[in-house]
Chains A and B, each alone.
Chain A
Amino acid sequence: MGIVTSILTIIPLILLPAIAYRVLIITDPKRNKPLRHGRQNAQEPTHLLIVLGSGGHTAEMMSMLERAVTDPDPKLKLNWKDYTHRTWVVSSGDSISAQRAKEFEEMATPLSTQDHLMAGKVKKATDIGPGKYEIVTVPRAREIHQSLWTSPVSSLQCTLECWKVLTTHTTDTRDGHLPQAGKTDFPDLILCNGPATSTILVFTSILLRFLNHRGCSERHKMRTIYVESWARVKQPSLSGKLLCRVVDRFLVQWPQLEKAVGGRAEYLGMLV
């Protein structure tokens, strides 16, 4: 065996386990979480990214969020201002989803202020602004009914756009990758529920963490929550099958599906 062949055999033998090990580490839900000092801390901005699909996906996501921010039980009630920056990702041409996101923002932020006032926290209600939100579009990963893997070109374009979306608030010039106090950064949390775009976005976030791009992995950015569609009772969707081993939380809405998926799947009641 020539020296070239042996090198060619040895390199993958060393590299592949190294890559696999790295992937296992960065997709382990038990990896460290960032240390935070309370909610709505101006020194520690938070960034939530939500992926909307079309039709049913958007309807379910909005229903879930509306239910969470209006829940009568304070323990279950989501305070929208806990997230100082919200990025909504919609597919190009989907003006309805963009409109729903805008309507939600206009409803949820005053609600949060109102909560603080009702609780007698006047300072919190007046000092903390509504935060910022942006609606960004990415090209469709695939047309409806087109399979995910027959569309490599559009998927690649979508991946590049997702990369841009995820890194848009980061810069290369940070000293030692430390976050700058008070500045928006990588998303802290990615919330999605199954459109093809969300699958690509989650895999892009894993790639970024794999490369520790701009320190995102060591700063514990981009934790992921996937909510399987309420319409999935017995079998997960394609996106669910692809993501169930790599997202940090995999929420299902029917008890029988928790068993069918196994692994990370959790049933915590209906969420929509």
Chain B
Amino acid sequence: MSQKTCFVTVGATASFTALIRAVLEADFLTALQNNGYTELLVQYGEGGKQLFDTHSKTAINAAKDEGNEIKISGFDLDKAGLGRYMRQAKGANLGAGEGVVISHAGSGTILDALRISVPLIVVPNADLLDNHQVELAEVLAEQDYVVYGKLESLDKALGEAEVWRKKQRQWPPTNSGVHRHANGLKGVMDEEMGFLD
């Protein structure tokens, strides 16, 4: 079977233990197997190691009993960025198929994933006081850029990602309508500088 990676990232600034727990649940691991995934890679953030280690051990054992041979691994943070892991999920390795990224709703991570156009499931962190991350995830899901994932039904989101893979929209979006002629950041900078050409 060709390699197919599900990469999960919780980000660097806030902890998101609920997401780590959710992707190590039996239902989710079964869903991974049903969708042909061979590898689950988790960026669990600072302080997430203990939780990840204990939960992944039980998860691996439980999966083996069910005949699920999925490889589960994790790391806390990578200063060099997540590009490498996102490309692995994209299927950049020889003979690998395209997988999926499951991410917290941080704008930087979402942008990284959109730029290499890997299917993305965004899971907003309900523990954060400010809910603007939910708004971003909603509007992006509405416009078919990402799949909106809920913690309690991640297995369903995984199935949606398979369908969504085929209708994925290109990034960055081309300007349309009244903004077709807008000159972007350069235009604004030129106007403010007083460059007249």
Contact = CB atoms under 8 A, between A and B. Distances in A.
A233 B186 contact: no
B182 A268 contact: yes
B135 A267 contact: no
B111 A63 contact: yes
A34 B108 CA distance: 35
B127 to A, nearest CB: 13
B138, B175, B179, B194 interface centre (most CB from chain A within 10 Å): B194
A196 B100 CA distance: 34
B187 A76 contact: yes
A48 B185 CA distance: 14
B13 A55 contact: yes
> Interface range on chain B: under 10, 10 to 19, 20 to 34, or 35 or more?
20 to 34
B194 A36 contact: yes
Given A55-B108, A56-B106, A144-B13, A189 B186 contact: no
Contacts of B179: 267-269
Interface string B168-189: 0000110100010011111111
A64 B79 CA distance: 21
A271 B13 contact: no
Nearest to A37: B196
Interface in B122-173: 132-133, 135-136, 138-139, 172-173
B192 interface: yes
Contacts of B188: 225, 249, 251, 268
Contacts of A234: 132, 135
A91 to B, nearest CB: 14
A76 B107 contact: no
Given A35-B194, A64-B185, A59 B173 contact: no
A59 B111 contact: yes
Contact of A232 (B13, B132, B189): B132
B12 interface: yes
Which residue, A82, A268, A270, has most C-beta atoms of chain B within 10 A? Answer: A268
Interface stretch (A67-75, A161-169, A200-208): A67-75
Contact of B184 (A68, A96, A249): A68
Contact of B107 (A56, A82, A249): A56
B183 to A, nearest CB: 6
Given A55-B12, A71-B186, A144-B13, A249 B108 contact: no
Contacts of A87: none
Nearest to B174: A269
Chain A contact residues: over half helix, strand or loop, or mixed? loop
Nearest to A54: B13
Nearest to A62: B108
Contacts of B197: 38-39
Contacts of B132: 231-235, 237
Contacts of B183: 75-76, 268
Contacts of A111: none
B107 A231 contact: yes
Nearest to A223: B192
B75 to A, nearest CB: 17
B63 to A, nearest CB: 34
Interface string A226-261: 010111111101000000000011010010000000
Contacts of B105: 231
Contacts of B115: 63
Nearest to A235: B132
A46 B183 CA distance: 21
Nearest to B185: A68
A120 to B, nearest CB: 17
B111 A71 contact: no
Interface of A: 33-36, 38-39, 46, 48, 55-56, 58-60, 63-65, 67-68, 71, 75-78, 82, 96, 144, 188-189, 191, 220, 223, 225, 227, 229-235, 237, 248-249, 251, 254, 267-272
9 contacts: A33-B193, A36-B195, A64-B185, A96-B79, A230-B111, A231-B105, A231-B132, A233-B135, A268-B188
- Interchain residue pairs A-B with the least CB separation, the first 10: A59-B108, A33-B194, A231-B107, A269-B175, A233-B135, A268-B182, A78-B186, A269-B179, A223-B192, A76-B184
